[in-house]
Chain A
Amino acid sequence: MSRALFSPRQWLTLAALLGVSFTAWAAGADLGQADKQATNWTAIGMFGVFVVFTLFITKWAAARTKSASDFYTAGGGITGFQNGLAIAGDYMSAASFLGISAAVMASGFDGLIYSIGFLVGWPVVTFLLAERLRNLGKFTFADVAAFRFDQTPVRVFAASGTLVVVAFYLIAQMVGAGQLIKLLFGLEYWIAVVIVGGLMMVYVLFGGMTATTWVQIIKAIMLLAGASFMAGAVLWQFGFSPEAMFAKAVEIKTSLAVTAGKTPEEAAVQGFSIMGPGGFVKDPISAISFGMALMFGTAGLPHILMRFFTVPNAKEARKSVLWATTWIGYFYLLTFIIGFGAITFVLTNPGFLDAKGGLIGGNNMAAVHLANAVGGNVFLGFISAVAFATILAVVAGLTLSGASAVSHDLYATVIKKGKADSVAELKVSRLTTVALGIVAVLLGIAFEKQNIAFMVSLAFAIAASANFPVLLMSVLWKGCTTRGAVIGGFLGLISSVALTVVSPAVWEATLGNPKGSALFPYTSPALFSMTLGFVGIWLFSILDGSARGKQDRDGFLAQQVRSETGIGASGASGH
């Protein structure tokens, strides 16, 4: 494809600088330039190595996955540091890696607004929920939300909230997988989606949470290492001067605007616009609403909340969230540099552009093309393998979370009234895993043309409006009752989904209605739907004069004592 930017000697200097040995890759990059065809095989080979390795882990994990506790929480034996990496792995999805670097490439500073929003939810999780979740829960966040309430209605709500969030998140991941493989292997989109669905099912079915966690940890390390290298390579080209990198990017954006027919004055303004906020945040209401979705959505993502049950105690739960925040913050810093690197090295290289001047494979391929630009075809192969592994791992985590909602919340608690045995519960989990795998493939095919980073923000809005209010109020407010939690929760869930459907992104862009016909004009529904969720919980709780309501309020003291001290909480390994 294109020529690498570095000579082999520069490679070695850079490798020494980063404290990592890239000698083998440097040699490989030269081979890649000599023979273009072979490089694709290198990429496929790297991905193959990852798959074989993770299948061995799955085999090892399968031998340890006997009980429902092993399946859902890896027996509770993951350390804080390991869990922090796994959470970061869950969060650093292909949607953030590819989507945010693409957003930065397209509009600069606006991509940073996006990243910051994704990060600021973590302190909220730490201060309000992490340790309390660990002290109260067992397998799913519904264990916590329903702790002192009537199990059936609250579990039905929590399972609905989980499945809707998981569905939106899954769509984003599957679309990313399809786009990536189309570019890398030249396969049809749908084949890629089927491969992801199939491999993910193997991890979850046989290895449960143990395999999912370790796949996630390995992928997180690979992604952080690969992204560090790319960002380091970009900065190195500019003598580690951010000013020089920004200046070059502005210059390139300006000359692109001139080429597109703008006057020099207009072009200068457009070029400089990447250094400040642009059209991403359209109006103040959208800005606040979107900010709320990202900040509070994190605390309502079921596959993230589930991770707090894999550690032995509250201390490890706190450590894991601090590690996760640190890695994720670092990762967003890298994606920002990668996005600017894409402006300077990808947009200027005709090898990466199609006839209309757009990126081959679409804007979401910014980071992938940059990998080729800074590291040649071998590094392109590595980054593609990592991105694909990322999708696999995140999809596995999401599926596990969805399967636990169906088997633990709906089957074991609602249908069997808590009397299901571990074997039957496990069987239902596995059947659900297969069903979700098939649904994920179908959704992936249906949503082929959507911007994947945007899909993730929809999942956040729903998590912030439905799951988060119920969780927070049930844990912190004595007056919350079953009736209030269920009605308020469903109000948040239904309103966030409904407002999303009638927002411009879905109503006009996806459903093809004329521009301006969307009933809800804002980017994100969270300001309205989250408020509706909280007000609903509060109103229907204080109006609740039933005997059940009294029982719910009376149960608060015991719940609070356990959530604050952990006394009575299920310990480390369940066996």
Chain B
Amino acid sequence: MQTDLVQKIASHPKYQELKSKRTGFGMWLTVAMMVVYFGFILLVAFNKAFLATRLGDGVMTIGMPLGFGVIVFTIVITAIYVRRANGEYDALTEEVSKAVLK
């Protein structure tokens, strides 16, 4: 890519907006995923008894719904990002490329 085109894109306000929004959102979601997952793993490591606590009279334990909750959370958080990126971020990208590639 030519240097002047790079400069033109890099200094475009919509590009700045795209970059900061996406990076911020991506980092935030990555941290959320790590908190949920490592939270679960640390529970496994430090408090096995808690996860093996029975819910009610049957054999069902707290760990089961919690574990499945992590699986559902993983899919949902991915969907949230993809939805926003394929809408808002792609619209911004489109604006930038229209403005600089006339």
Contacts and interface: CB of A to CB of B under 8 A. Distances in A.
Interface of A: 109, 112-113, 115-117, 119-120, 122-124, 126-128, 131, 242-243, 246-247, 250, 272-273, 275-278, 281, 283-284, 287-288, 291, 295, 314-315, 318-319, 321-322, 325-326, 329, 332-333, 557-558, 560-562, 564-568
A113 B37 CA distance: 10
B45 A281 contact: yes
Given A284-B45, A287-B44, A567-B5, 18 more contacts: A112-B68, A113-B67, A120-B37, A122-B74, A123-B77, A123-B78, A127-B26, A127-B27, A250-B59, A272-B59, A284-B42, A287-B45, A291-B37, A318-B85, A318-B86, A319-B82, A561-B15, A565-B9
Contact of B38 (A243, A288, A566): A288
10 closest A-B pairs by beta carbon, nearest first, are: A276-B52, A287-B45, A127-B26, A284-B45, A568-B1, A291-B41, A322-B82, A120-B37, A275-B61, A112-B67
11 contacts: A109-B61, A112-B67, A116-B40, A122-B78, A123-B81, A126-B81, A272-B52, A284-B42, A287-B41, A291-B37, A565-B97
A318 B82 contact: yes
Contact of A127 (B30, B58, B60, B101): B30
Given A120-B33, A123-B78, A333-B68, A557 B38 contact: no
A268 B79 CA distance: 42
Contacts of A122: 74, 78
A250 B40 CA distance: 23
A123 B6 contact: no
Q: Could you say which of B18, B33, B101 has the most chain A C-beta atoms within 10 Å of its C-beta?
A: B33
Interface string B54-86: 000011110110011011101101110110011
A558 B74 contact: no
A126 B84 CA distance: 12
Given A288-B41, A561-B15, A326 B9 contact: no
A395 B34 CA distance: 31
A281 B47 CA distance: 12
Given A318-B85, A319-B82, A322-B79, A116 B6 contact: no
A127 B81 contact: yes
B33 A243 contact: no
Nearest to A322: B82
Given A326-B75, A564-B22, A277 B52 contact: yes
A325 B78 contact: yes
Contacts of A124: 30, 33
Contacts of B64: 109, 112, 242, 246, 275
B45 A567 contact: no
A567 B74 CA distance: 30
B102 to A, nearest CB: 13
B85 to A, nearest CB: 6
Contact of A120 (B25, B29, B58, B70): B70
A321 B10 CA distance: 28
A275 B38 contact: no
Contact of A277 (B5, B30, B51): B51
B42 to A, nearest CB: 7
A562 B5 CA distance: 11
A561 B41 contact: no
Contacts of B38: 288, 291
A128 B25 CA distance: 10
A281 B34 contact: no
A113 B48 CA distance: 12
B92 to A, nearest CB: 9
B91 to A, nearest CB: 11
**Counting chain B CB atoms within 10 Å of each CB, which of A127, A247, A315 scores highest?**
A127
